[in-house]
Amino acid sequence: MFKILTKETLAPSIFKMDVEAPRVAKHALPGQFLIVRVDADGERIPLTICDYDSEAGTVQIVFQVIGGDTHRMSQLEVGDCFHDVVGPLGRPSDLTEMPIEELKKMRICFIAGGVGTAPVYCQLKWLKKNGVEVDCIQGARTKEIIILEDEMRSVSNLHICTDDGSYGIAGNVCVALQQLWDEGRRFDRVVAIGPMIMMKFVCQLTEKLGVETIVSMNPIMVDGTGMCGACRLTVGGEVKFACVDGPEFDGHKVDFAQAMQRMRLYKTEEGRLYLQAKEGATHHGGCGQCG
């Protein structure tokens, strides 16, 4: 069992928790994710790591209530326990594998959308700790749902934007990135984490600007180990699985149209059967959802 040590409401329906998970915390790196279950019969919920403390043996998660099991998560309090916290899963950010002196020479801009702010924070904190200064654009629909602002400012040159203009730059993250570019800021790499539609449009813009772009893909996941095929993607014309090959990929090579269509289809039994028939051997089909 994995005890909840702290709980905080960050915005309407968005919560942050510190969870006791020593073995996970010991091996975690920025860019990786966890799978959490409330109880033995609960849904497996993938959550990218927001923070970790290997000495304290804790991991930090941020989640938004969007269904039954995330609602149940939101009802847990300090002292309660998760049945499972599995991880760290996926591949760490390639930034963690690069020489620090090389990183210090790069001009990197992170783009965080919505609850995608949480995994961005994890990477920014690691970079700050290693003496790497980066920019970050944090976007949300409105000021009310901006999360972790103080934490983000402490580890980056932060630029906030809101779709309704209620705070920071008026407009979405693409508007903010174009504004920074027009002001003369040039980046070697953009890392975008957030809703899939946001990452798609960021990639369309950065392709025009000629900037390498990394995205963290968050399609439907079931087992998190590559067995089920639920998170199947096409990247550069090749079949990939976000849980084992990612979650980070070259954004200019991701087939976003296919990924978004697949997410819609996977939500229905008829859609899952269609995908199983269409994808054949590359579907995997071990998730137990396809009959």
Q: Where are the domains of the chain?
A: 2-89, 94-216
Per-residue pLDDT, 282: 55
- Digitized pLDDT (tens) for each residue of the chain, 291 residues in all: 899 999 999 999 999 999 999 999 999 999 999 999 999 888 888 888 999 999 999 999 999 998 888 999 999 999 999 999 999 999 999 999 999 999 999 999 999 999 999 999 999 999 999 999 999 999 999 999 999 999 999 999 999 999 999 999 999 999 999 999 999 999 999 999 999 999 999 999 999 999 999 999 875 555 555 556 677 888 999 988 888 888 999 999 999 988 888 766 555 555 554 455 555 555 554 444 444
Per-residue pLDDT, 285: 46
Give the pLDDT confidence of 266-277 residue by residue, as tens digits: 555 555 544 555
Q: Fold identical between 2-89 and 94-216?
A: no
Count CB atoms within 10 A of the CB of residue 251: 25
Per-residue pLDDT, 232: 80
Helix, coil or strand: residue 109: strand
CATH number of 2-89: 2.40.30.10
CATH number of 94-216: 3.40.50.80
Cα separation, 128 vs 115, in Å, equals 21
Cα separation, 233 vs 263, in Å, equals 10
pTM of the model: 0.87
Cα separation, 60 vs 78, in Å, equals 13
C-alpha triplet 249, 34, 288: angle, nearest 5°: 90
